[in-house]
Copies of this chain bind each other. A is one copy, B any other.
Amino acid sequence: MAVTIRDVAERAGVSVATASRVLTGSRNVSPVLAERVNTAARALGYRHNAVASALRRGRTNTVGMIVPEIGNPFFPSIVEAVERRLQESGRDLFLCDAQQDVTIERHRARALADRQVDGLIIVPVSATESRATLVEAVQRTPVVQVDRYVEEYPADWVGVNDELGVGLAVEHVVALGARRIAFVSASLDSSSAQQRYAGFERVVKRHGLPSDTPRLLGTFRAEWGRSAALQMLAEEPFPDAVVCGNDEIAIGLLGEFRRSRIRVPEDVLVTGFDDIRFAQLADPPLTTVRQPGEQLAAECIRLLDARMIDRDLPVQRVAIAPSLVVRESTGGSS
């Protein structure tokens, strides 16, 4: 079998305790013995057994993360940022995909907890149906919600102020003269969808804009953007601007408008949300609300670490203000 710490100790002529102390640096060991242990370990090709260590210490130096769907290009950006942060403290990230399914999400959460991750970062699939999973997870391990959160259960959260973000987009198109503004987003299953919708309604109301414009709620996918576009094209009057719940929807919308010879931004203004990689590559480049991924990640790890130190800390919800990125889909930079 594999070489164990026992083999190392034997070859170095010390006890396993000493070997362990050298290898983990948990206590001072005389330089002579330390050197002997290190050479023995190297010579034997010793590899630390993280499972045994985890069993004994009760911690794994590992953080779990669950995202609703890794294919949604917004999530990879935040995963990458989180991973970079964790690396600084020498921890590893295990990433799981819930495939937009709360049952799978629950399985993943359990699998991670069963493996004794030191903490869990989760973007809940649903504001309501992910609650049970979250509650269970919180009892087992420190948990931080990112981007989305679960209703009626207080747990740490860090994300962008969605409500404000969509507000920025609406204000922007209003400033450009739009009056009839449509909203295309995902159905209100997730907190982001809810908050973004609320932001839209708030600003529309505040400016006394017509409220009979389309509010089309489907999914956060480009497919939905396409069909929403078709739906709007079939109806009169056509809106001055379409504010979208995320970039993918907006990109789908742009594609369909293009096909139908609707010019953006001349005939209609379009905005997105997230500022994913492809937003600036869209045709025309997409005005959108940028989520500051690095900050989100930094805050997320901070929260998680705080919770790991003290499970009884008061719940924190950190909302970071997003910023508007103006591109050609609303006429380009001022």
Contact = CB atoms under 8 A, between A and B. Distances in A.
Given A94-B95, A108-B92, A71 B222 contact: no
B60 A70 contact: no
Nearest to A73: B73
Contacts of A111: 50, 62, 92
Copies in the assembly, this chain: 2
A138 to B, nearest CB: 14
Interface in A264-294: 277-278, 281-283, 285
A71 B283 contact: no
A55 interface: yes
B54 A140 contact: no
A83 B97 contact: yes
A91 to B, nearest CB: 9
Nearest to A328: B259
Interface string A54-98: 110000101000000111010011011001100100001111110
A255 interface: yes
Interface of A: 47-52, 54-55, 60, 62, 69-71, 73, 76-77, 79-80, 83-84, 87, 92-97, 99, 104, 108, 110-111, 113-116, 140, 222, 251-252, 254-255, 258, 277-278, 281-283, 285
